[in-house]
Amino acid sequence: MSPADKQQRLAGFLAAHRDSGLPVTIQRRAVFEAIVERPDHPTAEQVYRAVRQDLPQISRMTVHRILGTFVSLGLVTKTCHPGSATRFDPKTHQHHHLVCLECGTIIDIEDSRLNSLPWPEVDPREFAIQDYHVHFHGRCARCRQKERESARPAAGPRGAGGPQDT
């Protein structure tokens, strides 16, 4: 993120607070600064650990509450997976994700073709669709590398495919 982008996000942060009449507290500012430049879609717990370095007094509860406020102000988005912790995303425009099924890494992907997919026809009394984004599931480079390393045959006289000792 360029310094100009960061400046712009901070201006958006201040404006959102002004418009909604919420005070810009030291805690809110620290949480926003901790998340705005992170590309890794941290959990609330990870944000808490980062903020605690500057504000050792802050509670986990406060960080959770502030993140919830940011979501309702549209300053960050949530990306959810059934059965795993909510991850927070400082990008609020429509974008998509590559999700590693092994380690949970989430990588942003921007592809305008994915922004105009047809929405399914659902009964609006049952469900009101607001938005969507696409998750592509797979395995990240680090996990694939680990797998290659563990699949490598152990070095020795009986290596795979080698001549048998007689």
Q: Does 143 bind Zn ion (CB under 5 A)?
A: yes
Q: Does 140 bind Zn ion (CB under 5 A)?
A: yes
Q: Does 107 bind Zn ion (CB under 5 A)?
A: no
Closest CA to 113 of 138, 139, 94, 137: 94
Check if the beta carbon of residue 98 is closer than 8 Å to that of residue 143: no
Q: Does 110 bind Zn ion (CB under 5 A)?
A: no
State the nearest-atom distance from the C-beta of 7 to Zn ion, in Å. 21
- The pair of three-digit structure tokens given for residue 137, joined into one six-digit string: 């599931």
Q: How many chain residues are in contact with Zn ion, going by CB under 5 A?
A: 9
Q: Mark the segment that binds Zn ion (CB under 5 A) among 57-65, 80-88, 112-120, 136-144.
A: 136-144
- The pair of three-digit structure tokens given for residue 115, joined into one six-digit string: 């922004």
Q: Does 40 bind Zn ion (CB under 5 A)?
A: no
Of 134 and 143, nearer to Zn ion (C-beta) is 143
Q: Which amino acid is at 119?
A: W
Among 37, 102, 110, 147, binds Zn ion (CB under 5 A): 102
Q: Does 100 bind Zn ion (CB under 5 A)?
A: yes
3-state helix, strand, coil in the chain (%, to 5): 40, 10, 45
Closest CA to 98 of 114, 83, 85: 114
Q: Which amino acid is at 7?
A: Q
Query: Residue numbers of the site for Zn ion (CB under 5 A)?
Result: 89, 91, 100, 102-103, 105, 108, 140, 143
